[in-house]
Amino acid sequence: MIVLDTTVLVYAVGADHPLREPCQLLIRAIADGTIQATTTIDVIQEFTHVRARRRGRKDAAELARDFIELLSPLLIVEEPDLREGLRLFPEGTGFGSFDAVLAAAAHAAGAEALVSADTGFSGIAAIRHVVPDADGVRGLLGALTT
C-alpha cells in the first residue's frame, strides 16, 4: 500500500505538466486494482482547496468525492501520528509540519512509500519517498505488482 500526497492528485487532473501523465498512470493503476493506495482526509481537503482556486468549487468537490471513493478507506491520522510528525518536524528544513505528520501516519500504517512531487519528503528517513515522475511511477508499479 502506498500513500499519496496532494501533489499527485493535483497533477493527475491538472493542466499540462511533465508529471501529469505519470500521475494519471498511477491513478489508473489504483483504479484498476493493480496497486493499492490511500491518502488522508487532510490531503483530500487540501486538494479541494487548491483545485477550487483554479477550477471552481463544484469541479473541486466532484473530483474530491471521486478521490475519496478511489482511495478509501482513507488513512486516519491519530494523535500518535501528530506527535511523531511534530518530533520529525524540527529535524529537517525541506518539509513542513503537514508533510511531517503525513509521513508519520504513512509510516505508522506500514505504507511501502509516500508518493509526492514535494522533494522535501526525501528528507524524512521514516518513509520511502517516491517522486511521481515516469521513473518513479514505473518503479512503483514494478515493485508493488510483482
Q: Torsion angle of alpha carbons 63, 113, 88, 117, nearest 10°?
A: -50
Average pLDDT of span 51-75: 97
Contacts with 54 (C-beta within 8 Å, 6 or more apart), sequence order: 14
Query: Do residues 2 and 111 make contact, with C-beta atoms less than 8 angstroms apart?
Result: yes
Q: Which amino acid is at 119?
A: T
pLDDT at residue number 122: 92
What tens digit of pLDDT does each residue of 69-114 get?
999 999 999 999 999 999 999 988 889 999 999 999 999 999 999 9
pLDDT at residue number 144: 62
State yes or no: pLDDT of 7 exceeds 90. Answer: yes
CA separation for the pair 68, 95 (Å, rounded) = 25
